[in-house]
Amino acid sequence: MSALPISVATLAAMKSRGERIVCLTCYDAGFARLLDAAGVDLALVGDSLGMVLQGHDTTVPVTLDQMVYHTACVSRGRERALVVADLPFLACGTPVRALESAARLMQEGGAQVVKLEGGATMLETVRRLCDLGVPVCAHLGLLPQSVHRLGGYRFQGRDHASADAIRHDALAMQEAGASLLVLECVPEALATEISRTLTIPVIGIGAGAGCDGQVLVLHDMLGIDPGRAPGFSRDFLAGRGSILEAVTAYADAVRRGDFPAAAETPY
């Protein structure tokens, strides 16, 4: 593993060499330093902070100001990991709003990539952001910001029509210029197929072991809130002496292809 700072080009090269990409959510400078020490490649400033830091039931209340604040904290701590920051709920409601929001995450927060949830409706926005030099991570499958429309946090892509839509959106996002794709809570076979089809790296969460990389929510993989972590996560701190050991064990397990195991792959 190289000590050089990670870029989107590094990730593309890792995919082409078949090296798995390790990603974790991160919300502050101390953890950003720890993720670097453990060799995590991507620090995702996820709007999951609304749930694990702020105590909300969903990510919907998270504001752009809050995302900028946490992204700046992470950027100050990290030296190697690539900083990916979430565009929060409706921050890309229009392409113009998306540009303004991405500008804040990058200029004030120091984000190197912005992540946005959604498929076909986001294509024009992704194209515009990419044309203007903004690296984009698309997010398909379960879209937590749409929880009220979905009626809960449910696995996606389990029937033919919805699997086809995700397949189609994934390819369209790549064609629109996205540099990365997160696939959340989709069946392993679908995620594996999409990872093999796309040339851009695909990072899975609750999507089985066939993706180019994995991401987990930091608090879930440290067992911070027992009983609340999803079944596809693993408590890496259990039986280990420190948080650094736990995060290093996660990074090693992802790189070896030992995480997620079958028991952590519901579909």
The distance of closest approach from Cβ of residue 181 to ligand KIV in the complex, given in angstroms and rounded to an integer, is 11
Enumerate long-range contacts of 53-56, CB under 8 Å, 24 or more apart.
Answer: 53/27
Return the range that interacts with ligand KIV (CB under 6 A); candidates 1-9, 46-54, 150-158, 191-199.
46-54
* Residue of 175, 184, 245, 264 marked catalytic: 184
Which pair of tokens denotes residue 71? Answer: 């992204």
Examine residue 205 and tell whether it contacts ligand KIV (CB under 6 A). Answer: yes
Minimum separation from the CB atom of position 168 to ligand KIV (A) = 21
CB atoms near residue 253 (< 10 Å): 18
DSSP letters, 139-203, are EEES-GGGHHHHTSS-----SHHHHHHHHHHHHHHHHHT-SEEEEES--HHHHHHHHHH-SS-EE
For residues 215 and 227, the answer to whether their CB atoms sit within 8 Å is: no
Active site residue 124: no
Residue 233 engages ligand KIV in binding (rule: CB under 6 A): no
Please report, as a single letter, which amino acid is at residue 151: G
**Contact status: 173 vs ligand KIV (CB under 6 A):** no
Closest CB to ligand KIV among 113 and 205? Answer: 205
Among 31, 32, 38, 48, binds ligand KIV (CB under 6 A): 48
In this chain, which stretch among 41-49, 96-104, 150-158, 191-199 interacts with ligand KIV, using CB under 6 A? 41-49
167 contacts 190 by C-beta, under 8 angstroms: yes
Q: How far is the CB of 211 from ligand KIV (least distance, A)?
A: 12
Rounded-to-integer distance, Cα 205 and Cα 1, Å = 23
Start-to-end C-alpha separation, the chain: 32
* Interface pick for ligand KIV out of 28, 36, 41, 86 (rule CB under 6 A): 86
Among 14, 182, 251, 253, binds ligand KIV (CB under 6 A): 182
Q: Which residues are catalytic?
A: 184
Interface residues toward ligand KIV, by CB under 6 A: 25, 44, 46-48, 86, 182, 184, 205, 215, 217
